[in-house]
Structure 1
Amino acid sequence: MNAAVTVPPAVGTALLDDFSLEMTGKDVPKLEEAYDSIPAGTRINVTFLAGEDLGTRLAAARAVKRLGFVPVPHISARRLPSRAHLEEFLAGLARDGTAENVFVVGGDPARPEGPYEDALSVIRTGLLQEYGVRHTGVSGYPEGHPVIADGTLWSALTDKAAALGAGRLSGDVITQFGFDVAPVLGWIEAARARGVDLPVRIGVPGPAGVRRLLGYATRFGVATSASVARKYGFSLTNLMGTTGPDRFLDALAERYDPARHGVVKVHFYTFGGLRATSEWVTGFRARG
């Protein structure tokens, strides 16, 4: 871990207040183990992974709510085999009282498994509002996407923001994680210039093994040059250690300007575990 330094005020208040976490449908036991280390009311996203069925996803959202947190179930557009399947999922969420907040993403399959090409096509169905959704998160890619052109990404983001507004849904943007603050803040400024004024939750990896982080970075097209790794706080030649986002958040606090960047929060990808991430956040905020 990096040496402790004084936490800039922006990190201690605006940026790390109301942080969010991410878990999979199979992480309920880990969430139960970690619940006493996570602030009540924390937003917890529940991913929509291949190999997890409807019951697993619904049960995870129920567990998040039962433990006093705010469930944010994911809807993966390209993994939906039919409109009926989407309605079944939304109806289950509504029945359980876990439908108010969702996150809609295109998803990984190269070809859609059903009628939905992307997140926008799900948002435009009007089904989210019909089943009680009030807040919808969408994705953002500060360093681009491995298989989607930048122009397409920008069009998708502006179209999704417009569709949320037209559908009277509040929303936010959760970004892919990265190791360098500069492209993230530059991307946010570019989004604001394009009229996207949704709050942005900057994706940040929780503390995890360097090898694991690099594996995810390769999968998602995140830049990992030697200079970027050094800036973040690890070495590409020593993959056995564990690293946290100390330097990233310090740099973010130093450069974040509400007048230019708007509302910004932090979303933690819990690659190293829910408890490890939540305890790390508590320790980081307590530095002085």
Structure 2
Amino acid sequence: MTGKDVRQLQEARAAIPPGTRINVTYLANEDLQMRVAAARAVRDCGFVPVPHVSARRLQSAHELQTFLDALQQVGASNDVFVVGGDPPTPAGPYADSLAVIRSGLLQQHDVRHVGVSGYPEGHPDITDPVLWQAIESKAAALREQGLAGNVITQFGFDVDPVFTWLEAVRSRGIDLPVRIGVPGPAGIRRLLSYAKRFGVGTSAGIAKKYGFSITNLVGTAGPDTFIRALAERYAPERHGDLGLHFYTFGGLKATSEWIDDFPGARQ
């Protein structure tokens, strides 16, 4: 959710199981007050707030400390998700999420669990060797600092690159739990727009496997086929701790209700 989605969260509350982890984004057009208010609303609704920290948007260590202080004051600092962020040039001292993890400021504000990013289909602006070095370094830094963590991946429409990437992750000795990004039900045009922005593959063949056509943008698509394909091929001994992370492109309520109605969702 974003800082603007507090009302949506309250409307969706009945459809979301207590204790669900809900990420709160770090958008350039939202300020500290909005981000902290959203994290507090998540906590007040009985869920686990996971505020994002966007490394390259931070102008100083003081700004990071102020943000973490504010989260700590509302009881929303135990879990964070640290990401590099969109700006190509850092606004301050943090060139990437690893720099934030290594700063030591997280533990000083009761952070105990840190989420980091994974990219099964690569990143449009970062080479694969750099991505692999980054995730290996972040996993090592979390271990060294005694922080629990997980990896949340970009969303996608095809399970093939997901499993190829996941097996490569495990072969590198990275044993963090992985949450595979899944787009919640949304309009096809919107899904394709987000996919283009984040470099996610959307060929006609991939779209067909997922359950929609890129030549017919009318209607809504859900991740039914994708989730079933993940479940069929998932082998705990090879893939480790695996779960799902829903991107609520169609809204919190629509996504929560879809999950609630999905056969076997509670299992």
Q: Please give the range of the TM-score, normalised by the shorter of the 2 chains.
A: over 0.9
Taking structure 2 as the reference length, the TM-score comes to 0.98
Find the aligned partners of 1:253 and 1:221 in 2 and give their Cα distance. 24
The match for 2:126 is 148
Residue among 169, 179, 202 paired with 1:191:
169
The CA deviation string for residues 66-123 of structure 1, in whole angstroms up to 9 with x for no partner, is: 0000000000001111100000000111111100000000000111111110000000
Using the TM superposition, give the Cα deviation of residue 186 of structure 1 relative to its aligned residue in structure 2, in angstroms: 1.1
Cα-to-partner distance string for 1:235-274 (whole Å, 9 max, x where unaligned):
0100011000000001001000001000001000000000
AA matched with 1:231: K
**Separation of aligned partners in 2, 1:249 and 1:260:** 18
Deviations 1:23-54 (A, max 9, x none): 11110010011101100110000000111000
The answer for the alignment partner of 2:95 in structure 1 is: 117
1:4 — aligned with what? none
The answer to whether structure 1 residue 250 and structure 2 residue 228 are counterparts is yes
Matched residue SS, 2:200: coil
Normalized against structure 1, the TM-score is what?
0.91
Q: What does 1:25-36 correspond to in 2, within 5 Å?
A: 25-36=3-14
Identity %: 66
Once the two structures are superposed, the pairs formed by residues 39-54 of structure 1 within 5 Å of their partners are 39-54=17-32
Aligned residue type for 1:45: N
Partner SS, residue 146 of structure 2: coil
Given candidates 64, 67, 72, the residue that maps to 1:89 is 67
1:273 is matched with: 251
Within 2, Cα distance between the matches of 1:286 and 1:252?
Answer: 14
For 2:155, what is the secondary structure of its paired residue? coil
Q: CA deviation at 1:285?
A: 3.0
Q: Confirm or deny that 1:283 pairs with 2:261.
A: yes
CA distance in 2, matches of 1:247, 1:285: 12
Runs of 4+ residues over 2 Å off in structure 1: none
Q: CA–CA distance in 2 between the matches of 1:285 and 1:33?
A: 23
Q: How far is the alpha carbon of 1:286 from its aligned partner?
A: 4.8
Find the aligned partners of 1:185 and 1:211 in 2 and give their Cα distance. 26
- Segments of 5+ residues of structure 2 without an aligned counterpart are none
Aligned equivalents of 1:96, 1:276: Cα separation in 2: 28
Which one of 111, 115, 123 corresponds to residue 137 of structure 1?
A: 115
Give me the CA root mean square deviation: 0.8
SS in 2 for 1:285: coil
- 1:63 corresponds, among 41, 61, 86, to 41
Please give the alpha-carbon distance, in whole angstroms, between the structure 1 residues aligned to 2:31 and 2:130.
31
- AA partner of residue 3 (structure 2): G
1:163 aligned onto 2:141? yes
Among 199, 203, 207, the residue aligned to 1:229: 207
- Letter of the aligned partner of 1:254 in structure 2? E
For residues 144 and 64 of structure 1, the distance between their equivalents in structure 2, rounded to whole angstroms, comes to 31
How many residues were matched structurally? 265
Post-superposition Cα deviations, 1:150-204, rounded to whole Å, max 9, x if no partner, equal 0000000000000000010000000000000111011111001011100000000
Counterpart for residue 215 of structure 1: 193
Which amino acid letter does the alignment assign opposite residue 130 of structure 2?
A: T
Q: Which runs of 5+ in 1 are unaligned?
A: 1-22
User: 1:189 corresponds to which letter in structure 2?
Assistant: E
Larger relative contact order, structure 1 or 2 (CA cutoff 8 Å, min sep 6): 1
The 5 A counterparts of 1:91-106 are: 91-106=69-84
Q: In 2, Cα distance between the equivalents of 1:235 and 1:176?
A: 21
**Letter of the 1:30 counterpart:** Q
Aligned counterparts of 1:236 and 1:228: Cα–Cα separation in 2: 10
Query: Secondary structure of 1:172's match?
Result: strand
Q: Output the CA distance in 1 between the equivalents of 2:113 and 2:124.
A: 28
In structure 1, distance between residues paired with 2:158 and 2:102 = 34
